[in-house]
Amino acid sequence: MTRWRASLPLLATAALVALLAPGRALPSVPEETIPTLAPMLERVMPGVVNISTRSRVRMPQNPLFSDPFFRRFFNVPDMPQEQERQNLGSGVVVDAAGGHILTNNHVIAGADEVTVTLRDGRTLNARIVGADAEADVAVIQVEADNLSAVPLANSDALRVGDYVVAIGNPFGLGQTVTSGIVSALGRSGLGIEGYEDFIQTDASINPGNSGGALVNLKGELVGINTAIVGPSGGNVGIGFAIPTNMARSIMGQLIEFGEVRRGKLGVLIQELTPELADMFGIPPGSGVVVSQVVEGGPAAQAGVLAGDVITRINGQPVPSVTALRNAIGLQRVGTEVQVLVLRDGKEQAFKMVVSGEEARVKGAAPADVPALAGATLGPIPNDHPLRGEVEGVAVLQVMADSNAAAAGLRQGDIITAVNRQPVVSVQDVERAAKQGDRGLLIHLRRGNAALFIVIR
């Protein structure tokens, strides 16, 4: 038995030699048994286009170069006032009849001319329908017959491990196909875009792939290739795509309005930290905390209160501030949404109509806090450099001759704690102030510095 097993490799080798002998043909294998993506790609690739743009950028010049005497004295040659720049990217035809093509905002941003090259070699001039810089989505349009559109999939059905294929124009080489899997879903907080809910994939994505298609094995569009993470700007197996459902929502508004009109609930929110989750008696990541409600906003009209924990929007969980921002910011103004909140351990459901008005909260002077007389406090403004970096209450105004000004409080300061109690609202400041009998010990952030001041 041992000798027979040992002879198997020799027999196999002899058989292979016999097959490869001159005059002997290799056995045929039915084509349908060979795994290949070719049939799917033959249908999809005509719907993926190459995009090139031209823009003219005014070159900064020293004012002396505009002085004729200076130019003549130093024999300064004429210098071009503008420089032409070119950019390459990709796009996906999503509406063959209307000629609408999805791509990234950064592919066409600032472009004076946009040219689309189709798979069949046709070159077309395109017009920019609209762009959304915050989500990095843009729609352009061409006039042409016999366009091929890529069908849109429900990107919410994607799972980690699903096979995907990236199609685009990397490095200007022309249409290129790479394959991989979905490595992760719901990637956010990367600082790449304002609205982030990325599909992460290890399908090779390189410069020039931006705006191209990420498709499933059915040939349906699941994402728009957008960004890469790598030390040299090249592919290292970490690429990101905007989910089709997000792009579809933005595209509809860009085609209808030429811009995105983002929805607002009229609340200021913060992350449910482990400490806050423990206080509320719920697991971390179960929702986001409402720190303040805008007077007259949709949430206020519905009955939402500061301290409520928003857990779901339209039945979908909101485990982070980013998730809630995406869920509401991508809703059309006037859309009714159902918001589930947790209040005192009990769930409550509210219906409200998304508003288009920016949440604006007026500042207030803390009541019954004489030490802070003359100071106006409120939420951290959207344009404050520490917005999103720290939590606290902003000093919006300080009267020059006030007690607060004399103690060193300045406009733009962010109060993070009063009498060693963290504060995120004016009401928090008022409550914490009552716990001290020797004045106020205020911890604040001023620029990159943190300091304590005492106000009596």
Catalytic site residue from 52, 100, 106, 291: 106
106 catalytic residue (yes or no): yes
> For residue 208, which of 44, 50, 47, 48 has the smallest C-alpha distance?
50
Catalytic-labelled residue, pool 132, 136, 202, 413:
136
Cβ atoms of 98 and 141 within 8 Å: the answer is yes
- Respond yes or no: is residue 136 known to be catalytic: yes
Of residues 210, 249, 320, 355, which has the active-site annotation? 210
Tell me, letter by letter, the H, E, C secondary structure of the chain.
Answer: CHHHHHHHHHHHHHHHHHHHCCCCCCCCCCHHHCCCCHHHHHHHHHHEEEEEEEEEEECCCCHHHHCHHHHHHCCCCCCCCEEEEEEEEEEEEEECCCCEEEECHHHHCCCCEEEEECCCCCEEEEEEEEEECCCCEEEEECCCCCCCCCCECCHHHCCCCCEEEEEECHHHCCCEEEEEEEEEEEECCCCCCCCCCEEEECCCCCCCCCCCEEEECCCCEEEEEEEECCCCCCCCCCEEEEEHHHHHHHHHHHHHHCCCCCCECCEEEEECCHHHHHHHCCCCCCCEEEEEECCCCHHHHHCCCCCCEEEEECCEECCCHHHHHHHHHCCCCCCEEEEEEEECCEEEEEEEECECCCCCCCCECCCCCHHHCCEEEECCCCCCCCECCECCEEEEEECCCCHHHHHCCCCCCEEEEECCEECCCHHHHHHHHCCCCCCEEEEEEECCEEEEEEEC
Task: Report how far residue 104's alpha carbon sits from residue 114's, in angstroms, rounded to the nearest whole number.
Answer: 13
CB 422 within 8 A of CB 450: no
Let me know if 67 is a catalytic residue: no
Q: How far is CA 412 from the centre of its chain?
A: 28
Q: What angle do CA 44, 49, 54 make, to 5 degrees?
A: 170
Q: How many CB atoms lie within 10 A of CB 234?
A: 13
Catalytic positions are 106, 136, 210
